A and B are shown apart, each in its own frame.
Chain A
């Protein structure tokens, strides 16, 4: 196990050790991906070994944790050191995170699906625990003490029986390079011993963010760099016929690159590049798609797609016979943009045949692959570094569709000009190229018996996918069919690119499901909370609903109470989440105001309750957008929303009083924190309006026009 840096370590390894600062000694612990399944790893791709996490214990007493995940504001740069400090017995402040660098970090599938803590975090804990074991063995030799007498604290191993026998981790690391591969999981600290986990930690990187020091991809300035403005089609599907560049070329300092139909204007000033681009006169062949935000739903319903059965229990026909009341509704939701405040941005430079890219991305390894393939280079000739990311929410995540087009563009232009090149989307490009949350339709038929028990549930979900479509209630006869998903959109369905949006498909499904529940409760004459509890067997779901009711101060009344209270519950990334909210409505204008909302998580072990609370608040606010105002307007390939003036996202004046509760479940494994709170506001607002007025808001976004129309039907 012990040994100096030997010359028979192969070049790649040596190069790797140099990159992660191990030459001169250090201890590195790798985590295998055995627990999570080999589908996550891509063996042999890139120069890093295919593990999910590793730790470096340096001779400088600092511990570095390398992970392929990135922090896009969700706070993992703050919570991961808690895991390391806990298991390794070091001070929180002695842990550094290196995230999303393809040269030094293990391969990663992309940051999304609330996987960082619940998959990689679990492995980092194991790695840290293993590292502690290694250190004790090294210390036993160093101190000539039996290992059973050794304990660790604050980066020091000490002999409990000999007060002067102690050694720092850094000293033990000197002169050694030890690689330790984990096969079996070491035991980790149990909850009653937690010093770091479960305690609130504020954003580690706040100082950099409040001072402007934090560098996002667009802030990195390299000598001799150029900024590119790329010619884009006016509408999706348009084909370039001609481009007149003479006026643009007249601007001093402008460089024009023409590579087939890829035309880029470059300049040392980004605004001058844009100005020159606006002087290019073009002719395009326009497509004849004839799809718009009004006729899209009919189109989606008619798109041929094989149904996938998500749930089947009993016989719907039997259930219908048992029903005293029948319900049949159609729910729709529009295409929704990610709209991060930082647009897609990549900076590329090429030196000695190696491309380095700083990309605002959730999936640096996918960008690495896309650029390597696009430039016809081996993977180890492309390095992607992820700087600070100004929000992403699934829009900068390449899983199926390339969500960082600008990275390859920057690399190509850097190659063609011989200089570093930055490509940064304008806000208009950001809307145009977004991989939208797909528009969806959910049709639900259901029935209740005389006592208010739900006897059958038959739903067909079009395009949203199966997230959130499962039946959580105790219903004897169920059928849920999924027609098309966001991951595998049916050919010909969507007139532009679609992709994962925070909790993909779940908000759409929850709005439909929970509104249907509220409609049934009203018909049954049973309080909507009571109706839900009556039809649930799932203890965790009952738990989050009851906790929400308690925090809210909920008092059961007959439905259509006029109070404007809405309820939602569901599961996302294994976390159970309930929302209860209160809305008020201006019947004349159709404007809805959310006064307050309570959100409860049963997420298992919560690593950083402060960070989680903030994610819950943020998700509640963000989700008011898709609920009330966000829906992409488009026509014949044109994206009609080009900026925040028409595409309205939640603002300060929208924000309700938000209370969050995280149930203490330290003995359960950690589940998702970043997404679940985003699933419920559509249902809360719709059921709140229903409770207040009897108006049924079945279409999202619930714009004032739609609200007034629904009021008119009461």
Chain B
């Protein structure tokens, strides 16, 4: 049964008519054409599908579209503003914190959420918080360095 579901996606209001049980990940990638958010496991164990819902990192493969009604959803596409990369994105570029890049959007969204919640997060806390995001290429050390660096930059304002 299709429902009318209204929410904000990357600061734009949207209303969709879709089955409420469908997972957010697939609605993002298909109906909304936002393919930056990736499918990696479908079970919420890899983090490739991480988006922000009202500022908190969530695995979009586990979230029903009905449950984002009235919420603010942010995907990787929503971070760059006016042609300027978000400091976390820039830090990833500056630290060469990627290889194949498939896990990268999820990593960045998770990092965003960690630093929003805890702007003073120390390296160890960041490592533990990121543990649910998987990277097969082994870009981990640079990802952590990028996030630690981004934290400093974000604190400066």
> What is the interface of chain A, defined by CB distance below 8 A to chain B?
72-75, 202-203, 205-216, 218-219, 221, 268-272, 339-343, 388-391, 393, 424, 426-427, 610, 614-615, 617-622, 643-645, 649-653, 655, 658
With a cutoff of 8 Å between Cβ atoms, the chain A residues found around residue B37 in the complex are: 212
Partner of A645, one of B45, B128, B133, B136: B45
Question: 19 pairs across A/B with beta carbons < 8 Å?
Answer: A202-B96, A210-B85, A210-B101, A214-B101, A215-B35, A270-B26, A270-B29, A271-B30, A339-B136, A340-B136, A390-B38, A390-B101, A391-B102, A427-B41, A427-B42, A617-B141, A622-B136, A644-B46, A651-B134
Given contacts A341-B102, A610-B96, contact A268 B138 (CB under 8 A): no
Nearest-neighbor residue (CB-CB) of A211 within chain B:
B80
Partner of B38, one of A205, A269, A342, A614: A342
CB–CB A206/B22 < 8 A: no
CB–CB A614/B135 < 8 A: no
CB–CB A618/B128 < 8 A: no
CB–CB B92/A211 < 8 A: no
Given contacts A206-B92, A212-B75, contact A644 B98 (CB under 8 A): no
> What is the interface of chain B, defined by CB distance below 8 A to chain A?
19, 22-23, 25-26, 29-31, 33-43, 45-46, 48, 75-77, 79-80, 85, 89, 92-93, 96, 98-105, 108, 127-128, 130-131, 133-144
With a cutoff of 8 Å between Cβ atoms, the chain B residues found around residue A610 in the complex are: 96
Partner of A209, one of B23, B104, B136: B104
Nearest-neighbor residue (CB-CB) of B33 within chain A:
A221
Given contacts A211-B77, A212-B36, A221-B33, contact A73 B99 (CB under 8 A): yes
The 6 closest A-B pairs by CB, nearest first: A212-B36, A73-B100, A390-B102, A618-B138, A209-B101, A621-B138
With a cutoff of 8 Å between Cβ atoms, the chain A residues found around residue B89 in the complex are: 210-211
CB–CB B134/A644 < 8 A: yes
What distance in Å separates the Cβ of A625 from its nearest Cβ neighbour in chain B? 9
CB–CB B136/A649 < 8 A: yes
CB–CB B136/A658 < 8 A: no
Given contacts A614-B142, A617-B138, contact A211 B103 (CB under 8 A): no
What distance in Å separates the Cβ of B133 from its nearest Cβ neighbour in chain A? 8
What distance in Å separates the Cβ of B92 from its nearest Cβ neighbour in chain A? 5
Nearest-neighbor residue (CB-CB) of A620 within chain B:
B138
Give bound CA distance, A181 to B105, whole Å: 43
What distance in Å separates the Cβ of A210 from its nearest Cβ neighbour in chain B? 4
What distance in Å separates the Cβ of A350 from its nearest Cβ neighbour in chain B? 22
List 17 extra interface pairs beyond A272-B22, A610-B96, CB under 8 A: A73-B99, A203-B98, A205-B101, A206-B92, A206-B93, A209-B101, A211-B77, A211-B85, A212-B37, A269-B30, A342-B100, A621-B141, A643-B45, A652-B140, A652-B143, A653-B128, A655-B144
With a cutoff of 8 Å between Cβ atoms, the chain A residues found around residue B45 in the complex are: 643-645
Given contacts A271-B23, A341-B40, A391-B136, contact A212 B93 (CB under 8 A): no
With a cutoff of 8 Å between Cβ atoms, the chain B residues found around residue A209 in the complex are: 98, 101, 104
With a cutoff of 8 Å between Cβ atoms, the chain A residues found around residue B43 in the complex are: 427, 643-645
